[in-house]
Amino acid sequence: MPTLLIEPVARLIEAFARLPGIGPKTAQRLTYHLLRAPEGEARALAEALVAVREQVVSCERCFNFSDAPLCLICRDPVRDQRRLCVVEEALDVLALERTGEFRGLYHVLHGAISPIDGIGPERLRIRELLARADDGSRAGAPFEEVILATNPTLEGEATAMYLAERLEGTVVLVSRIARGLPVGGDLEYADEVTLIRALQGRRAI
C-alpha cells in the first residue's frame, strides 16, 4: 500500500520518532501540530534546536551542560567548594537542585559502568573526577565529602562501588545517597521529598 505522506512530513515524523519517549503516533501528532501552527512557532523551534547544538558546551570542570567554559554552578562563589555530588546525567543535577538541599558542586559522569553494554570507566568522566579529587588532596584541601548519587540500578550501584574504591584516601568521606529512591528508578523522575530524604539519609561507604 503506497504511503500518503509527502517526503518532508515523513522525514519530520521519523526525526521525532527517534527521540526518547516518543513513539510513532506521538511523532505524527507533533508533526501535524507544527503543520497547523503559525510559521513563527515552527521557525522558533528550528532556531532553538540549532542554538542548542551551536551554543551549548560541556563545562570544563564538572561536565554539566553550559553556555560558557564553566557552568553557572562552578562559577558560583557561594557554593560549598568542599562537597561534591557525583551524578550520572546532567538531568540529575536539575533534579537535585530543585530540592534546594545540596549547595556544593557536581560532577557529571555521562553514564554508568555497564560491562554488558561495553561501557567501562574509560567511557565515562571518571578520570576527570579522580583528577579533581587528587588535585584537592595534593593542595592540602581535599573534598570533605563526595556524595555518590548514581541511580539505584545495577549499573549505578556498580559505578558507586568502583568510585568509592578509587576515591578512598583522597577525600575525607565518600557517601552514598540513601535508599529513599526506588531500585530501578531514575533521579530525574523522583519527587523533591524523596530526593531530600535520600540526601539527608546518605551514609559513608
Q: What is the CATH number of domain 72-204?
A: 3.40.1360.10
Q: 2-15 pLDDT, tens per residue?
A: 467 899 999 999 99
DSSP 8-state symbol, 105? E
Who's near 62: CB < 8 A, 6+ residues apart? 71, 73, 74, 105, 106, 107, 108
Q: Considering all CA atoms of the chain, what is the largest pairwise distance in Å, rounded to the nearest integer?
A: 72
Give the pLDDT score at 162: 97
Q: Output the pLDDT for position 137.
A: 93
Distance CA 95, CA 149 (A): 11
How far, in Å, CA of 158 to CA of 20, rounded? 25
Domain ranges of the chain: 7-55, 72-204
Tell whether the model's pLDDT for residue 155 goes beyond 70. Answer: yes
pLDDT over 90 for what percent of the chain?
Answer: 82
pLDDT at position 1: 36
CA angle (123, 55, 89) in 5-degree steps:
35
What does the pLDDT look like over 83-129, one tens digit per residue?
999 999 999 999 999 999 999 999 999 999 999 999 999 999 999 99
Answer for the pair 106, 84: CB distance below 8 angstroms, yes or no. Answer: yes
Does 188 score more than 90 pLDDT?
no
- For the chain, the straight-line distance linking the first and the last C-alpha, in angstroms and rounded, comes to 61
**What's residue 168's pLDDT?**
93
- Cα separation, 14 vs 28, in Å, equals 9
Q: Tens digit of pLDDT for each residue in 51-83?
A: 999 999 999 999 999 999 999 999 999 999 999
The total of other beta-carbon atoms located within 10 Å of residue 63's CB is 19
Average pLDDT over residues 155-175: 95
Domain 7-55 has CATH 1.10.10.60: no
Q: What is the pLDDT of residue 199?
A: 86
- The answer to whether the beta carbons of residues 159 and 112 sit under 8 Å apart is yes
Helices (H), 72-153: 72-75, 90-99, 126-138
Indicate if the pLDDT at residue 157 is higher than 50. Answer: yes
State mean pLDDT over 30-48: 94
User: Whose CA is closest to 198, among 160, 158, 152, 144?
Assistant: 152
User: What's the whole-number average pLDDT of the chain?
Assistant: 92
Is the pLDDT higher at 191 or at 37?
37
